[in-house]
Amino acid sequence: SVEIRPGETTTNDIGVAVCGVTLQVRLHEELAGNPKLRVFVTLHTPGPEATDEIMADDNAFRAWRAAPERAALLGAVRHHMLSKTADGAWTSQDVPTGEYTLMARATEYDPAAKPTFKLLGITRRMGITIPAEAVGRTVDLSELQIEPMPAK
């Protein structure tokens, strides 16, 4: 998780170990202070993408995922969750070369609430290609900005 104080912008470096490749990205979260805030960073293979509006609505997202035309496609998507290390880097191990989408989400986690996770903000989805010739090098992927979800 990332500590965010009211009125401040927090910056974290994300490093992804991919078949000997390190991908670097800066993650910016500009959200009000919230002790229940959780940040998730993922890398996944191409597949259907829900809109931000669908992702912000738990019932709509559940229905979108369950639609028969998407279920098989979503089942084939490979996900790699990144973990934040003690030095603030975000990493994932043994990710093969190929095409991916990198994104981060800020959620509010409240085990007493329904739904348990409420989406507060999301980064733009960044399409990346990890070529075989990048093994052993560091690749800078620029920046991801977590944007607050629009108010309903």
- CA atoms of 141 and 32, how far apart (whole Å): 26
The total of other beta-carbon atoms located within 10 Å of residue 108's CB is 18
Cα 101 to Cα 41, 42, 49, distances in angstroms: 11, 8, 10
Instruction: Determine the pLDDT at residue 31.
Output: 56
Identify the three-state secondary structure at position 29. Answer: strand
Alpha helices (H) in the chain, listed in sequence order: 52-55, 58-66, 68-75
What tens-digit pLDDT sequence spans the chain (152 residues)? Answer: 445 555 555 555 554 444 445 554 555 555 556 667 777 888 889 999 888 788 778 789 889 999 999 988 998 998 888 777 776 667 776 677 888 888 887 777 777 877 676 777 766 677 888 777 777 666 555 556 666 666 55
- To the nearest 10 degrees (0 to 180), the angle between helices 58-66 and 68-75 is 80
Instruction: Determine the pLDDT at residue 130.
Output: 78
The total of other beta-carbon atoms located within 10 Å of residue 136's CB is 9
Instruction: Determine the pLDDT at residue 131.
Output: 76
Residue (of 24, 17, 1) closest to 92 by Cα position: 17
Instruction: Determine the pLDDT at residue 2.
Output: 47
- Residue 13 host element (H or E): strand 10-18
Instruction: Determine the pLDDT at residue 19.
Output: 45
